[in-house]
């Protein structure tokens, strides 16, 4: 979820001196994962002003269309300036964004008065992409007149300098897929009042006497417990979305399409409730949620014909199926350039039903992501009212009314001893604090004889048992407040030689400041492509799981680097920008045997059968890998900061070799994952046992690691086999 800081400031009273990174730290402490803080238009230096196009002269003597424009930038900026421009999407009288000479645009491009096409171009009329605001380069930005006066500073108007938080939302934090949810967390963090936009009463016009809105229904209240339809007629399909709405959609990673589509997307981002707009004139009879029949088919908005079955919850009218519930609408009822009458659907669908349908059809959408994680049970009428208000305000529609069907809703009640958070956390948390913190997240709490009766708020469907409530209390107290207690070790029979080697390697790396991590052994083609591994590379995972936990990670790893890169990225997203992490673990090389062996169950397998069973197993060596990023030594009175570089990765391998008593030599290496000029091959004799160096720039970009990040991977089994004395470990 991308959250513009300027939007958050409108919803929460954030101190003016607090910037994007300060806000990110607050959210991280609240338990959210902020991956990046992006500055929009970063690199723009100088003057951007609002200009008024006075006259346009078409220059026809050149191979491509060129326009000589007279643009008024205000008396304080020299009045009317002549500017050469090739864009065709604006006309005399339009308001545009002008970069004056001396301004530096993203990429280091400096604007200057220069001779071109027989004229002196005294500035530049800018597009979104030239300002770093988006990827749209179809034409220059045309501004509504009401946004500002001629010569006014254009940077704050178009969003240059705004900051955007990129938040990774975990499955139990579905409420954070909305500005409303993120703002609520910020309000608690800053200890300020939160005016919930999802509970505001929207004043809509009174429907005309005799106006009949579209009817709706639900055939299964277990799968669809709330279904609403609001009807708006007389809508102007040519009405544009306001620029502020378009800018917010772009900042949140969405492409503006049309007013009707933009409004539904905007309200979804604002409140967290997915909406769908139908063309009312393309509907037949009541709109309802129900189950598809075997053999049913639906062509969705992405022009894919999908085979449906009895497990698919769909949206129907009298003509048949018109949408896949909670996921995507159908093509036959979509709104288009001629739509004047709109039926606006807002509903609450079962998270499990939507999740299974999304996986079954391999169709993940913004709507399904939210329903899968749980949407506020009572939000649908408020969200559709907000959308109807925007459609009427900017599209000139007429409000006809709303129909709704709803199953009775009872919030889940959880009983918990008031001392439970203290007992679990291992730290004293007084009763009043427990109650106050639960109330701060929206819970209704009643206490009696040391027991709490807690009603979870409608926007937190993840709160279902006492453990969830304990997690909320501890999260709000602060994970950094939890005491560190060293557990006592149990008696045992000691470690094997191999275990002692692994422990000694870990202790040696930890002594250098590295931190050990444990990652999942599952990877997907996307992670392997990010490392630029060829199809024949032995580190390209080949062993596929029969029943993977995630369809995106169906393979067993053949390298530790994908998991380490993901762990580094998560830590950086949580504010740990200087990293030296390592992992010791097994990888799976090559394919398992193809000939299946099934020994009889009436006797112990013979030696030959044991041998053939072992041949089925792929090679699984123990590897050690590390990723280094950021500063090795911070700046201080002792001097400037010293970042990690390729030599630190090589040194990590040399430390391991010293521990094992092997002679490790370093030679110039070549590896697609590493920078071609900063890659070292790690050798024992003539055999290469590892690689270390600075990661390739394309790998850094694909894995979203900081610039100049480094890594190392070493075959620990090969090193141990060459050791002078394994007992020495």
- Which pLDDT value is given to residue 729? 39
Whether 325 has a pLDDT exceeding 60, the answer reads yes
447 three-class SS: strand
How does DSSP classify residue 547? S
Q: Determine the average pLDDT of the residues in 360-380.
A: 94
- CA dist 716 and 711 (Å) reads 16
- Run of H or E including 251: helix 243-251
Which residue, 68, 75, 69, is CA-closest to 49?
A: 75
**Burial of 219 per CB tally in 10 Å (0-12, 13-18, 19+):** middle
pLDDT of residue 29: 86
Lowest mean pLDDT among 488-497, 555-564, 631-640: 488-497
- Nearest one of 275, 276, 269, 274 to 177, comparing CA atoms: 269
The mean per-residue pLDDT over the stretch 128-145 comes to 81
The beta strands (E) that lie in 614-663 are given as: 622-629, 631-633, 642-643
Q: What is the mean pLDDT of residues 387-405?
A: 94
Q: Report the phi/psi class of residue 458: left, alpha or beta, with left for phi > 0 and alpha for psi in -120 to 50.
A: alpha
Q: Which of 355, 409, 350 is nearest to 378 (CA)?
A: 409
What's this model's pTM, rounded to 2 decimal places? 0.70
CA distance 622 to 721: 12
Strands 287-291 and 216-218: parallel
Give me the pLDDT at residue 56, please. Answer: 93
d(CA 574, CA 33) in angstroms, rounded, equals 5
* The pLDDT of residue 374: 92
β-sheet bridge partners, residue 523 = 555
Q: Hey, what CATH topology would domain 413-480 get? A: Phenylalanyl-tRNA Synthetase; Chain B, domain 1 (3.30.56)
* Torsion angles phi and psi, residue 84, rounded to 5: -85, 135
The arithmetic mean of pLDDT across residues 470-479, rounded, is 90
Tell me phi and psi for residue 317, to 5 degrees: -135, -170
724 falls in which pLDDT band (50, 70, 90)? low
Q: What is the mean pLDDT of the chain?
A: 91
Task: Please enumerate in sequence order all residues whose Cβ is within 8 A of that of 577, keeping only pairs 6 or more positions apart, or say none.
Answer: 629, 630, 706
Rounded CA gap, 348 and 201, in Å?
20
Domain range 48-158, CATH architecture:
Beta Barrel (2.40)
Average pLDDT over residues 716-723: 88
**What is the band of 292 on the pLDDT scale with cuts at 50, 70, 90?**
very high
Half-sphere exposure of 302 (CA within 13 A, CB side): 10
Say if residue 728's pLDDT is above 70: no
Instruction: Mention every residue, 6+ apart, whose C-beta is less than 8 A from residue 1.
Output: 166, 167, 169, 176, 177, 178, 182, 252
Radius of gyration for the alpha carbons in the chain, expressed in angstroms and rounded: 31
Sign, CA dihedral 372-374-376-378, equals: positive
Domains 2-40+162-195 and 413-480 agree in fold: yes
The string of pLDDT tens digits covering residues 248-258 is 998 998 988 99
Domain ranges (residues) in the chain = 2-40+162-195, 48-158, 216-406, 413-480, 497-728
Query: In this predicted model, what pLDDT tens digit does every residue of 670-711 receive, in sequence order?
Result: 999 999 999 999 999 999 999 999 999 999 999 999 999 999
Q: What is the pLDDT of residue 613?
A: 82
29 vs 106: CA distance, rounded Å = 33
- Integer Cα distance of 486 and 490 in angstroms: 13
Q: What is the pLDDT of residues 589-598, one digit of tens each?
A: 876 555 667 7
% of the chain residues with pLDDT over 70: 97
What is the pLDDT averaged over residues 495-505?
Answer: 86
Classify domain 216-406 by CATH number: 3.50.40.10
Q: What is the mean pLDDT of residues 662-669?
A: 93
- The per-residue pLDDT for 64 is 86
| pLDDT score of 688 | 95
Alpha helices in 441-560 (DSSP H): 466-477, 497-511, 525-530
Task: Return the percentage of the chain with pLDDT > 90, whole number.
Answer: 68
Question: What is the pLDDT, as a whole number, of residue 727?
Answer: 43
H or E stretch including 691? strand 687-695
**For residue 362, is it left (φ>0), alpha (ψ between -120 and 50) or beta?**
left
> How far is 201 from 382, CA to CA, in rounded Å?
7
Confidence grade of residue 412 (pLDDT, cut at 50, 70, 90): confident
Enter the DSSP assignment of 639: B
20-29 helix and 179-189 helix, angle to the nearest 10 degrees: 80
* pLDDT of 725 over the 60 cut: no
pLDDT for 50-100, tens place per residue?
999 999 999 988 888 899 999 999 999 989 999 999 898 999 999 999 999
Q: Please say whether the dihedral angle defined by the alpha carbons of residues 241, 198, 358 and 293, taken in this order, is positive or negative.
A: negative
- CATH number of the domain located at residue range(s) 2-40+162-195 in this protein: 3.30.56.10
**Does an H or E element contain 392, and which?**
helix 380-395
Instruction: With cut-offs at 50, 70 and 90, classify the pLDDT of residue 313.
Output: very high
Q: What is the pLDDT of residue 633?
A: 87
Give the C-alpha distances (Å, rounded to integers) separating 493 from 490, 501, 506, 728: 10, 16, 21, 19
**pLDDT at 594 (0 to 100):** 57
What tokens appear for 116 in the block?
A: 């071109």
Q: E strands of 502-595, at which residues?
A: 515-516, 522-523, 555-556, 579-586
pLDDT of residue 726: 43
Question: What is the CB neighbour count within 10 angstroms for residue 88?
Answer: 12
Q: Which of 143-157, 403-417, 485-499, 579-593 has maximum average pLDDT?
A: 403-417
DSSP character for 619?
B
Fold of 497-728: BirA Bifunctional Protein; domain 2 (3.30.930)
Q: Would you say residue 647 has pLDDT above 90?
A: yes
């Amino acid at each position: 979820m991308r959250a513009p800081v300027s939007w958050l400031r409108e919803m929460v009273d954030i101190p003016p001196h607090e910037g994007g990174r300060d806000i990110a730290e607050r959210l991280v402490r609240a338990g959210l994962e902020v991956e990046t803080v992006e500055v929009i238009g970063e690199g723009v230096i100088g003057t951007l002003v609002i200009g008024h196009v006075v006259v346009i002269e078409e220059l026809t003597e050149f191979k491509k269309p060129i326009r000589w424009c007279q643009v008024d930038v205000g008396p304080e900026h020299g009045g009317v300036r002549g500017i050469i421009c090739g864009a065709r999407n604006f006309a005399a009288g339009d308001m545009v964004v002008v970069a004056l000479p001396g301004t530096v645009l993203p990429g280091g491009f400096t604007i200057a008065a220069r001779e071109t096409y027989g004229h002196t171009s005294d500035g530049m009329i800018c597009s979104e992409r030239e300002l770093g605001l988006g990827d749209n380069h179809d034409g220059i930005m045309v501004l509504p007149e009401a946004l500002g006066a001629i010569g006014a500073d254009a940077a704050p108007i178009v969003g240059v300098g705004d900051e955007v938080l990129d938040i990774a939302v975990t499955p139990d934090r579905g409420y954070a897929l909305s500005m409303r949810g993120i703002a609520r967390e910020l309000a608690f963090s800053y200890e300020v009042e939160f005016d919930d936009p999802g509970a505001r009463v929207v004043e809509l016009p009174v429907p005309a006497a005799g106006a009949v809105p579209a009817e709706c229904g639900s055939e299964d209240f277990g799968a669809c417990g709330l279904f609403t339809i609001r009807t708006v007629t007389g809508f102007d399909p040519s009405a544009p979305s306001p620029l502020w709405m378009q800018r917010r959609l772009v900042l949140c990673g969405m492409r503006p399409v049309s007013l009707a589509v933009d409004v539904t997307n905007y309200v979804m981002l604002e409140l967290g409730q997915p909406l769908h707009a139908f063309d009312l004139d393309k509907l037949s009879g009541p709109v309802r949620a129900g189950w598809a029949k075997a053999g049913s088919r639906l062509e969705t908005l992405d022009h894919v014909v999908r085979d449906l079955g009895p497990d698919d919850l769909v949206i129907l009218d009298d003509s048949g199926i018109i949408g896949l519930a909670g996921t995507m609408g159908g093509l036959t009822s979509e709104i288009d350039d001629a739509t004047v009458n709109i039926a606006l659907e807002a509903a609450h669908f079962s998270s499990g039903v939507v999740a299974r349908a999304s996986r079954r059809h391999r169709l993940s959408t913004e709507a399904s992501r939210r329903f899968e994680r749980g949407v506020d049970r009572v939000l649908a009428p408020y969200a559709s009212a907000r959308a109807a208000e925007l459609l009427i305000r900017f599209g000139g529609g007429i409000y006809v009314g709303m129909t709704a069907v709803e199953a009775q809703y009872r919030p889940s009640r959880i009983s918990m001893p008031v001392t439970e958070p203290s007992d679990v956390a291992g730290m004293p948390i007084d009763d009043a604090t427990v109650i106050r913190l639960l109330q701060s997240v929206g819970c209704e709490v009643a206490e009696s004889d040391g027991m709490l009766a807690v009603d979870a708020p409608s926007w937190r469907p993840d709160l279902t048992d006492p453990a969830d409530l304990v997690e909320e209390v501890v999260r709000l107290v602060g994970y950094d407040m939890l005491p560190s207690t060293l557990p006592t070790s149990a008696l045992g029979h000691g470690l094997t030689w191999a275990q002692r080697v692994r422990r000694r390697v870990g202790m040696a790396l930890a002594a250098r400041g590295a931190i050990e991590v444990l990652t999942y052994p599952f990877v997907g083609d996307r992670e392997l492509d990010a490392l630029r591994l060829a199809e024949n590379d032995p580190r390209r995972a080949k062993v596929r799981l029969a029943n993977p936990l995630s369809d995106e990670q169906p393979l067993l790893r053949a390298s530790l680097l994908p998991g380490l890169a993901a762990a580094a990225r998560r830590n950086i997203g949580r504010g740990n920008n200087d990293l030296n992490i390592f992992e010791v673990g097994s990888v799976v090389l090559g394919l398992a045997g193809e000939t299946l062996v099934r020994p009889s169950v009436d006797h112990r397998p013979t030696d030959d059968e044991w041998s053939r069973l072992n041949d089925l197993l792929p090679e699984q060596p123990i590897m050690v890998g590390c990723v280094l990023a950021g500063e090795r030594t911070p700046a201080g009175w002792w001097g400037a900061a010293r970042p990690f570089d390729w030599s630190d990765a090589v040194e990590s391998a040399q430390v391991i070799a010293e521990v094992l008593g092997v002679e490790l030599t370093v030679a110039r290496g070549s590896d697609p994952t590493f920078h071609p000029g900063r890659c070292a091959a790690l050798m024992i004799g003539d055999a290469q046992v590892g690689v270390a160096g600075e990661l390739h720039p394309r790998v850094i970009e694909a894995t979203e690691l900081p610039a100049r990040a480094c890594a190392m991977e070493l075959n620990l089994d090969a090193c141990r086999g060459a050791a002078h004395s394994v007992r020495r470990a």
